[in-house]
Amino acid sequence: MAATMKDLSRETGLGLATISKYFNGGTVREKNRVLIEAAVKKLHYVPNEVARSLKTSHTRVIGVIIPELSNAFITSIISSMEDILRKQDYAVIVCDCRSDPKREKEAVDFLLHRRVDGLINMATDTTGAHLKAPLASGIPVLLVDRLIDSLQGKVSAVVIDNVHAAGQAVQKLTSLGHRQIGLILGSPNLYTTNQRLTGYLNALQDAGIAPDNEYIRYGDYTMDGGYQAAQELLKLKNRPTALFVTNFEMTLGTMLALQHNNIRVPEDLSVIGFDKLELFGEIFPDLTLIRQPQLSIGREAANLMLDMLSSKETGVSRIVTLTTELTEGKSVKALKV
Amino acid sequence: MAATMKDLSRETGLGLATISKYFNGGTVREKNRVLIEAAVKKLHYVPNEVARSLKTSHTRVIGVIIPELSNAFITSIISSMEDILRKQDYAVIVCDCRSDPKREKEAVDFLLHRRVDGLINMATDTTGAHLKAPLASGIPVLLVDRLIDSLQGKVSAVVIDNVHAAGQAVQKLTSLGHRQIGLILGSPNLYTTNQRLTGYLNALQDAGIAPDNEYIRYGDYTMDGGYQAAQELLKLKNRPTALFVTNFEMTLGTMLALQHNNIRVPEDLSVIGFDKLELFGEIFPDLTLIRQPQLSIGREAANLMLDMLSSKETGVSRIVTLTTELTEGKSVKALKV
DNA sequence: TTGAAAGCGCTAACAC
DNA sequence: GTGTTAGCGCTTTCAA
């Protein structure tokens, strides 16, 4: 059906090598160039990337494995990654593993069969077992958002400085006199959860405040989880005077819980949230927030992957750490003494 | 580096054909099966899909072209599509064309070079020019959410019944006595915009109400657009007593505009919105809404594509039309006389 | 049931 | 600058 280079060869009377060189940016005599272009048009020739991939043994495809496609934080990262990658003629195959390690492993195998040139992973499996095979095969593997302890030094990554992020928020609160600060974290054991907890504890220590486990809750990074966690914190005998919530969904849940309990922000309670995403921002416009540079995360990830692809040095680990920003709103207030 | 079937052949002493048959579900003598499996394990053999694709001339890759990846309606469709497709061992390459027809055309070419087996498109270019090539080449093309006039009968699609959807909403309002009904539409000329307008006009006619152009606004399917449109409607001398807003972002914008104008819903104004998406639903929990079955759209699209892929009859056009649902909330109230 | 061999469409020596 | 040729890893007749 589709025309091949052989057809072009026959049509133009030129050899295959000439045609191939034409397509690969080699120098071709002017009149032959014209000849080839005419034949391409006439025969509707479309280069076959599959054949090229087989020959060159690279596919110009990057596999991207994520925990969830229906998540604005993740899609904004993917969106900026895909943009850059496709401009460099790389295709992106997205695999949503629904936060299931088993599916994640299947996705890795799936992509390996397809001989992707590189793998970008926002990892679900915290052990990193699923990445053994691609790492062994020597293809570039890039972690995004979440580091994996056991892979330290073996893999590159783009993350934010979570310890600093949480520190920023908590320090802001302690500087305003708050000493009872509730913390709503994601799922236990996740990299970001641990790091943000560390940042919280560090900041408390810096302020000479002893941490209270009652104030530390896990909200699963979901809106419902955030809602629940906030409810529990509000019921405490020694209710916190301030809250730091560590992702957007939970921030939303927290705000709803406060609304349902008729708690005014910041009059009754100070709140620092996370990740202002376009639409939501308008709903609670005055929230003080820690913001991750999502577009930059995607951009850095794409560029780092491109680097890894073009450099021959395999197995080098490079970690890009981006910093968050504290956006001042009106949801935080000094504690009256 | 990686082991090939030839390596397996050497290792086992069997011919290539036998090995190939083993992998493709053919019958192989028991002892050879064992032999092969041992060799696979020993050599870490991983089948090369690229070579297979070249030989079989199908890639088991579906290209998906969308206007925007950072949109919850779209990602929930993609998510359910990808799930089904990958279970059937099809990979999905996603191309975000940023609602730019030029980029959309580039994406089509990009995917054609890669010899995708099928194309799923939520079209930006309303002329359908970008789909000429894939259609001519005979690969399955499936439209999602938006039909294209010029391609009628030539292409399959999965859409919702937009006329009915708008009709449901408007009829609900007229049945409660409303006669001045504001309509906030998406961008002019988009398929869904036109259809929803038609549904609105039909329902007015059924109720014996003459349409008033003042009441029909275009909000670009964005939150800001919805906000603006609502503002304009509120300023009218003959302000509408009810509003129908035709996508989620604009519904959000509308609600914000109402809030800023201290307009109570439904006391001062009745509102019917569109597409309750998880998180947002909690924020305006009592909104009466027209809901699209996003997961079903994705599922139907995936299955229809799978059908097209496996049937030899090319060029047959099948249109799957899904219906919307009206979810009763508390944002609508009978007009007091 | 198994093996030998051709060939999918391309790239890259190599020789001219 | 151009042509010839081998071969990437697989599937698939065709014979055995």
Three-class DSSP category at B131: helix
Is strand D less than 7 A from the beta carbon of B6?
yes
CA of B232 and C1' of D14: distance in angstroms?
77
Please give the nucleotide, over all strands, whose C1' is closest to the CA of residue B17. C3
Q: Which tens digits make up the pLDDT trace of A211-236? A: 999 999 999 998 889 999 999 999 99
Q: Is the pTM of this model over 0.85?
A: yes
Is strand C less than 7 A from the beta carbon of B91?
no
Cβ atoms of A59 and A116 within 8 Å: the answer is yes
Residue B31 has pLDDT above 90, yes or no: no
Cα distance between residue A170 and residue A179, in whole Å: 10
Q: Please give the average per-residue pLDDT across B150-171, as a whole number.
A: 96
**Residue B165 C-alpha, separation from nearest chain A C-alpha, in angstroms:** 24
A112: chain B residues, CB-CB within 8 Å:
46
pLDDT given at position B283? 66
Residue B29 has pLDDT above 90, yes or no: no
Name the residue among B48, B75, B95 with its Cβ closest to that of A115: B48
Q: Which tens digits make up the pLDDT trace of B34-54? A: 888 999 999 999 999 999 999
Q: Do B279 and A252 touch (CB under 8 A)?
A: yes
CA of B4 and C1' of D7: distance in angstroms?
14
Cα distance between residue A141 and residue B194, in whole Å: 46
Q: Please give the average per-residue pLDDT across B110-124, as a whole number.
A: 96
Q: Do A75 and B75 touch (CB under 8 A)?
A: yes
Cβ atoms of A80 and A302 within 8 Å: the answer is yes
pLDDT given at position A280? 63
pLDDT given at position B167? 97
B95: chain A residues, CB-CB within 8 Å:
82, 86
pLDDT given at position B141? 96
Sites in chain A below the pLDDT cut of 70: 1, 277-283, 312, 337
Q: B282: pLDDT confidence band, cut at 50, 70 and 90?
A: low
Q: Identify any residues that bridge with B247 across adjacent strands, giving them in sequence order.
A: none
Q: Identify any residues that bridge with B95 across adjacent strands, giving them in sequence order.
A: B65
Give the residue carrying structure tokens 């996370």: A274
pLDDT given at position A311? 84
Is domain B61-160+294-323 given the CATH code 3.40.50.2300 in the classification? Answer: yes
Residue B206 CA: distances (Å) to CA of B174, B194, B202, B334:
9, 18, 6, 18
A96: chain B residues, CB-CB within 8 Å:
79, 82-83
Express as a percent the part of chain B with pLDDT over 70. Answer: 97
Residue B210 has pLDDT above 80, yes or no: yes
Q: Which of residues 8-27 of A touch strand C (CB under 7 A)?
A: 16-17, 19-20, 23-24
pLDDT given at position A316? 84
Cα distance between residue A118 and residue A135, in whole Å: 10
CA of B65 and C1' of C7: distance in angstroms?
34
Q: Please give the average per-residue pLDDT across B111-128, as a whole number.
A: 96
Is strand C less than 7 A from the beta carbon of A6?
yes
Q: Do A96 and B112 touch (CB under 8 A)?
A: no
In 3-state terms chain B splits into helix, strand, coil percentages (rounded to 5) of 50, 15, 35
**Protein residue with the closest CA to the C1' atom of nucleotide D9:** B51
Cβ atoms of A60 and A90 within 8 Å: the answer is yes
Is strand D less than 7 A from the beta carbon of B239?
no
Establish how many alpha carbons lie within 13 A of residue A296's alpha carbon, considering only the half-sphere containing its beta carbon. Answer: 11
pLDDT given at position B25? 78
Cβ atoms of A169 and A326 within 8 Å: the answer is yes
pLDDT given at position A104? 98
Is strand D less than 7 A from the beta carbon of B233?
no
**Residue B279 C-alpha, separation from nearest chain A C-alpha, in angstroms:** 7
Residue B315 has pLDDT above 90, yes or no: no
Q: Please give the average per-residue pLDDT across B308-315, as a whole number.
A: 80
Residue B66 has pLDDT above 90, yes or no: yes
Cα distance between residue A107 and residue A124, in whole Å: 12
pLDDT given at position B294? 92
pLDDT given at position B277? 63
Residues of chain B within CATH 3.40.50.2300 domain(s) are 61-160+294-323, 162-292
A280: chain B residues, CB-CB within 8 Å:
279
CA of A19 and C1' of C11: distance in angstroms?
11
Topology at the third CATH level for domain B162-292: Rossmann fold (3.40.50)
Q: Do A283 and B252 touch (CB under 8 A)?
A: yes
A83: chain B residues, CB-CB within 8 Å:
96
Is strand D less than 7 A from the beta carbon of A18?
yes
Evaluate the omega torsion of the peptide bond into residue A240 and state whether it is cis, within 30 degrees of 0. no
